Each structure stands twice: as C-alpha cells, then as structure tokens.
Structure 1
C-alpha cells in the first residue's frame, strides 16, 4: 500500500501545541437484497444463522459468484465523488483468523480497487472544505461473535457473513474531531442520497473507523491508533477528542505511542486498546483464485450514470444558478432529498427563494432540531410556509408578526384539538396585519416625535441610535402593525424636514 499523502495545513488548529492528523475508513453496507458472493438474504434482525448459506459457511466445493448489484452501487459511489472507475479490478484474500470468519480469510480488494481517488466536499462553520479519497473497494463482511457474560458462553452468528460492503478510505486530511464529524456526515448524506446504503448506524450499515495520530507542527507523522466501529456522530467526536488528549499526555510523559486498534466506551468516554494494529503485510494478501478480475466496460458506467438521480453537489449548484442562493445556503438545503424537495416546493409557491431558504434553514430548522424531528415530520407543510412567506412579501405582515403566526401554526399541529385555520385567518384573528393607512401612521409618527424631544435632539446631533429608540416607540404605539421600513423612511423624512 502507498504511504498516505499529507496535506500541508498551516491553518490547522492545534491542541496543546500538537497537530491532529485524522484519516477515515468507512464500511457502508450496500443495499442489495442478497450477499456479495451468494444468494443468501441480507435483511437485518433475522434469527442467528438463518441467513447463511453454504457459500457463506465456506463449505467444501462452494464457489463465490459476484453480485452485479453490488458492483453497480460501487460505480454509483465513484461517480458521486468524482472518482476513477477502474476498468479492471481484482479481488484478493485477506488472511486472518477470527471465530466469525468461516473461511479463515476475507474476500476484499487490495492493489487494484474498483473506485480510485475522488473527494468529498462539505462546509464547516461556513468554510468550504474537501477531503481526498484514496479508494473505495468492495469486500464481504464477517460474521458476529455474541458473548453472553451472564452464562459465560459465546456464540457465532453468521448472518452478516458475506454481506456486501464498500470500504471508503480517505487520505489523512482532517485536523480536528469537528472536521472528522462534518466529513462523516457528508459521506453519510452521499451514500443515502444515491441509495446505495440505508445509513443506519445503530444496525451497523454505516460503520466508521478513525485513524488518529498527533505530531508537533512540521514534525514527522506520529504513530496512529485506529478507533473501530464508531456508530454515532456524537460518540465519534467524543472518541477522537479523548484519543487526542490521551496520545498527547503519553508523549508528554515520555512514552511512545504503539500502533493499535482501540474501542470507544461511551459509558466511560474513554478508548481502550483491543489489539496491536496489523500492517498490510500481516494479512498475506494474494489474488483470489476463485474470482476472475472484475471488468467494467465504459458503457456500463455510462448506463449507471444515466439512471442516477441528481447529485447533491449538482443540485446545490442549480440552486445557486436558478434561485440566486449562496453556495453555503444551497449546500444546507441539499442535506437530503426530502429537504431539497421541500425547499423547491416552498420557493416555487412563494416566488421568493431567498426568503424561503432563510425560513427553512432558520426558524423551521430550529424547531425541528429542538424536537428531534426530520423534515419529513414537519407539521408545517410546504404550501402553508409558502403562504406565510407570501404575506411577508406583499407587506401584509412583518417578519416578527410572521413568527407569531408560525408559532400558532406549530402549536395547532402539536394540539390536535386546536384549529388554527389558514394563514390569512390567523393574521386576522391575531390582529397582525400591517397598517396600510398612511395618514394613521403619520399621526403616530408625529405624536412620538412630539413626545420624545430628547431623542429627536440626540438624532439631530448625529446619534443614529436615537432613531432606533423612536422607531421602537412608533412600533409600540402601532401595536407592532406598522411596517418597520415604512416607519423608518417616514421618520427620517420628518426629522430631516425639521432641521
């Protein structure tokens, strides 16, 4: 295997004077109904050893047969990340002994993977970042060891043996746990968006291994430790942060870091060594004699490309071009197919894409996050939000009034006995319609000017903040129904005429 190519990152944050180096290996379970080299089912939750056929059990005389669907999903991923799809790739035997590995080796890809290169782009704190991919290769999963401590016995479940995986390997481009989590979330979005993986981390469909090391800036690469099977983004950040602190403490105490595979215990918040980390040579890779090279013709790649849905990066670029959004906003709105569809429905119905974007990524997102809801579970449908935004656009209500209407709509959805009615009915019942009577507004402005001579004098003396105080008084007198921009314009005009 080639040595990792390290990016020079002068902007990288330091932890106690050390630079953190992070690379990822992610196992995405492919969404095929059968296994990668057999016809056994891949459904989750079956009784132990009920989905393991003779091929999965490595019985004498059985031979593996490649699953075409698994290959097509690997091609889709390669196209989604701008990688090279190898016209010819080779399967190898990765030799190691473990009780849940019936053959004594795992069929994987080594020297010539099916997907080569590519990159994953994402935003972190509104800063655009990119992580380079080394490869993505097809392989089979192993079984699972089950330990029943209370009876002192262990068992082997081979239902997962032979389940198709796409292992996605990055260069060591990440420099903090926040970057690592942002990358993992973006990768998760990609594989679920294109439908090659269901992304269920609790069921093991999307398993991340983080390779973590530290070094003094400009110094040689440190020894890495691999944190295995991180199954939530929250635990991922906690595990990396703990591992970084632990390695720094060891080095500062004069100890050497030993290459190892470690596990994270969410109960204690600590990592612990599971075994000494192997190198590629320890696995004694050699080409699998039972599987011919995997050949992928260009027309097959183009056929797969033609059947793929619009990719999130392409959709975000279209949102920028068609709706005039910024790149960051467009990326936020393409976090899932459901979210992007919701945005487009609102934007087209209210004819104000920017305002639709602001409301969806602002008020709506805040409410959904607070209640741990997905966009599919939003109680405010696209048509209702579009109607609300439309009333802001035509000057019927202010932004503040719109938030009050939004509150009532949300409460009505939470309380099935409530009957909020339409957006227009709520605006009327709450008395939130902005004043359209210019003479009435002008009288309020005149009264506020007359009653606040001190603020008027301060504004005339050059204190802009005094104007805000006057605007506040006018809004209060109008019970929030005056148009703030109209108030500002009228107030400035009257004060200018008094000079």
Structure 2
C-alpha cells in the first residue's frame, strides 16, 4: 500500500524589540545569566504586565504579510501550567482571540508556487531557559518574557522538502520585515512539526506525532523524511503509531521518543485579568508595505531575466539583494552583477566586518569593475586582481590605471605576437594540421606570455585559429 504524509508546522519567532513583551527589561540574548531581568520577569508580588507596543506592531506587520484576517481588538489569555522555567506558573498568550487567522502564504518549491494556509498567528511571551548539569538544573531568566509570535499552519505539507521550503521562506520573511533576525541556531526561530501518514486517497488523518525544537532547515527536512519512513514501517508491520513527542537526534539522523501523550493537557485557559483589551489604531494598522521575498524573486526572473536559481540565491541574503538594487540603478548587466555578488562577494564576507555593503564597497566602485569587464578593458584574470583591491576600499579605475592593467585588444599587435610564436615553434603548424588541439592552446599560451598576460584571450584564440587555418 502507498502512504502519504500529512504535515503541519508550528513556528515560534522571537521578535526584535528593545524590551520584553510585558516588561521594560532589555532582551538578554548572549548576556550574563540573570542580568537582563526585572521584577515582572521573575513574577515578584504586586507586579503587573504592560504590553509592548513595538511587539504588537511587529505582529500586525507579519499578519498582514501572511494575508491574515486581523483582530483589531487585542486580548490576552493565561495558559496555566507549572514548570521550573515559568516563574509565574502561567504564560500570557492569545488562545481565544489570536491576532491573525486564515492567512495565505506563497512559497517556492522547486521554482513552483505553493500556497500554504495559515491557521493562526498569535502573540505570547517566552519562558526562561534551563541548563541541566548532572542532577542539577540551572535557570537563566534572561529569556523569560521575550516577545514571541507563534505561526501555525494547516496540514498542507506532504514532503520534507515542502516543509523545509516553508520554514526557510518564513525565516526569510521575518528578516525582510525587520521584525526578527530569524537565527535558528540561536533559537530566534524554533520549529515544531506535526506529522502523520495515511493511505493515498484517504481523507481522514492518521495518528499524529510531534517533533519538537528543530533548529535548522536541513533538520526539518531530515527529521520528516526519517519519521515518514519510521511510521510507514510501523504500520506495515501491523502495529499502531502512537501519539507522542519526539526529537531529532542529529548524531544518528533519527527521531527519538521524548514522551508519550496519553491525554490532552488541560491548561485551564482563561482571560488575562491584568491586561485590558487594546483597540489597534491607524498608526499600527497602516504600516508601510515592503516587497516580499517571493515577489522579488519573481520580479528578478520576469523583469531582469535572471534564472529562478540566481534570483533565489540573491534574495536569500537581504543585505545582498538590497545592495543589488542599488547597483542596477547604474547598469543593465544584471547577470554579470549577480555572478560577482553571489560567488565572489559571498566568499569574502569576513572582510565586511559588520559594515553596510554600500559603505564596505561603494556602489560606484562596483560599477567601475563591471564596466571594465564588459568593455574588455581588463581580462577575467585581471578582474580578480582588481576585485581583491576593491574589497580593500580602492577604486577599480585607479587600480587599473596605476597597474597598467589594460587588456590588449589590438588585432595587429596580437597577430604580430602570433607570428613570433609560430616562428619560434614551427612544428606547431604540422601538429595543428594533424588535428592536435594542444597546438592551438600552446600558441595562445605563448601569446599570453609575450603580452605579459594582457592580451584579450578571446580575441587571441580567434586570431590563432584564423592564422593556423591559413597556414594549412
């Protein structure tokens, strides 16, 4: 029997705000444990939460980008459970009235558009972080109260590849919107996957298994592919898949059981009594629209003639694609610019040292390099030398002039070198007559040597062929 997977995804996205969701404490990633906290974060008696306006604005921005129906009356609820990383004994969230519902998000899977349905998007606060050392558990409250958005999809995915493409697209979206850094390796974006299998053609879902805390795009795909295989083997052996929570073991590239879900946890949700409903005004609802990543990829493909692959590689780095937007104001050599950006620039990003691209390499300098290549002023080999100077802050035009690095395109001069090479190596003509391609490359090499590497290799090759053809 053939089976298909039914997959839904929940993503927790930490927001890039100055302070926490319900307190004035600063966000504390990377700081010394328990230093980025205040009385509200550790639930001291008598403290009251105050909603972070910037976090709400970020939530609205993402809800709009995901085409959600937005609830303009913001309300919060309590999710009650007792765990050592939750100082209040409850989490403030949005169970009954999420900020956004019924959204649609277009993603690219192998250059094809797939529309993902968004079930809900809600705001909440993060918990503290635990560190287990032997029999002891240490708690860092710096993360407690960090603003989170939880984005829940419908069960619209059938493969690990589709799921990974969605997570990557959402990660890129929050970066483009400027609401999160999207760093999965630092926990800014955390992913849970719900997966079941069913016979192809069956409408009813199978038994759902949850894979928790996936921290990379590749692990999303690998864990799903493993779990599909595991569940299929369980079913085909005549056993039943059990409802459980699993994690992905990177070392063994497999999912491992964490706990069995024998019953549904009763979180005893009720309305948060310390936060009054908040009506969203025009200042938050009427935010400036930006061009979304998929829309930018399609524009590059349709208007600039870039391949979907080139456009996707470029758009994956927001800083790089914004720099590309500056460059194409002064050149139409789009493909040439993309090649240098996605191959050469990305290989030396360590030299950027945190500076904006336009400060690191002035756009006019990059255009000077592109123009020199396009007009055959310099060879591809010389371009690499000029590029190395350019990333250190020098003008390509100045480097070319100072180094005398001008490519020779003059045919009479090149023909004279060809004749000189043939006079010194007359056997080459016989070799060429006998079909040896090595003789052609040899002569071109001699011409390059005589010109000290400054001759245009394309023109040299054409003239060597023409000269040898005449001599046989």
Query: TM-score range, shorter-chain basis?
Result: 0.7 to 0.9
Question: Residue 199 of structure 1 aligns with which residue?
Answer: 182
Q: 1:57 is matched with which residue: 9, 31, 43?
A: 43
Change (3 A) 1:292 1:481: same
The 8 Å contact of residues 55 and 64 in structure 1, kept in 2 or not, is answered as no
- Counterpart of 2:368 in structure 1 is 387
TM-score by length of 1: 0.74
Q: Does residue 338 in structure 1 map to residue 310 in structure 2?
A: no
Equivalents in 2 of 1:52, 1:409: separation in Å?
50
Match of 2:12 in 1: 27
Please name the residue that 1:417 is paired with. none
Distance 1:218 1:55 in 2: 50
User: Residue 288 of structure 1: which of 272, 290, 294 is its match?
Assistant: 272
Distance across 1 between alignment mates of 2:196 and 2:314: 34
TM-score (normalizing by structure 2): 0.78
- Aligned-partner Cα distance in 1 for 2:110–2:32: 42
Are 2:339 and 1:358 aligned?
A: yes
Structure 1 vs Structure 2 CA RMSD: 4.3
Aligned partner of 2:256 in structure 1 is: 272
SS at match of 2:143: coil
Is this contact kept in 2: 1:263–1:274, CA < 8 A? yes
Q: Does 1:132 align with 2:117?
A: yes
Counterpart pick for 1:210 among 149, 173, 193: 193
> Unpaired segments of 5 or more residues in structure 2?
none
- 234, 239, 252: which one aligns with 2:236: 252
Deviation at 1:47, TM superposition (A): 3.2
Aligned length: 460
Using a 3 Å threshold, how does the CA distance of structure 1 residues 76 and 56 change in structure 2: closer, same or farther?
farther
Please state how far the C-alpha of 1:27 moved relative to its aligned partner. Answer: 0.9
Aligned residues of 2:8 and 2:195 also touching (Cα < 8 A): yes
1:74 to 56, 59, 69: 59
Q: Pick closer, same or farther for the CA change 1:257–1:282 going to 2, 3 Å.
A: farther
Alpha-carbon distance change, 372 to 148 in structure 1, aligned in 2, over 3 angstroms: farther
User: Given the superposition, is the C-alpha separation of residues 348 and 477 from structure 1 closer, same or farther in structure 2, using an over 3 Å criterion?
Assistant: farther
Please state how far the C-alpha of 1:167 moved relative to its aligned partner: 0.4
Task: From the superposition, tell whether residues 222 and 41 of structure 1 become closer, same or farther in structure 2 (CA, over 3 Å).
Answer: same
Counterpart CA distance in 1 for 2:48 and 2:397 is 68
| Counterpart-to-counterpart distance in 2, 1:279 and 1:25 | 20
User: Following TM superposition, by how much is the alpha carbon of 1:72 offset from its aligned partner in structure 2, in angstroms?
Assistant: 0.8
SS at match of 1:42: coil
Deviates more, 1:235-244 or 1:224-233: 235-244
Inter-partner Cα distance in structure 2 for 1:292 and 1:204: 30
Partner of 1:396: 377
1:182 aligns with 2:165: yes
Structure 1 residues without counterparts, runs of 5 or longer: 1-15, 414-419, 459-465
- Return the offset for 1:339: 0.8
Aligned CA distance change for structure 1 residues 266 and 487 (closer, same or farther; 3 Å): same
Equivalences for residues 448-467 of structure 1 within 5 A: none
Residues 30, 166 of structure 1: 8 Å contact kept = yes
Look up the SS of the partner of 1:258 in the other structure.
Answer: coil
Alpha-carbon spacing, 1:331–1:120, altered in 2? closer, same or farther (3 Å): farther
Instruction: Verify the 8 A CA contact 2:80 2:89 in the aligned structure 1.
Output: yes
1:162 aligns with 2:130: no
Separation in 1, partners of 2:321, 2:36: 40
> What is the alpha-carbon distance in structure 2 between the residues aligned to residue 31 and residue 399 of structure 1?
42
Equivalent in the alignment of 2:78: 93
Query: Out of 439, 462, 475, which is 2:412 matched to?
Result: 439
Do 2:443 and 2:464's aligned partners in 1 also have CA atoms closer than 8 Å? no
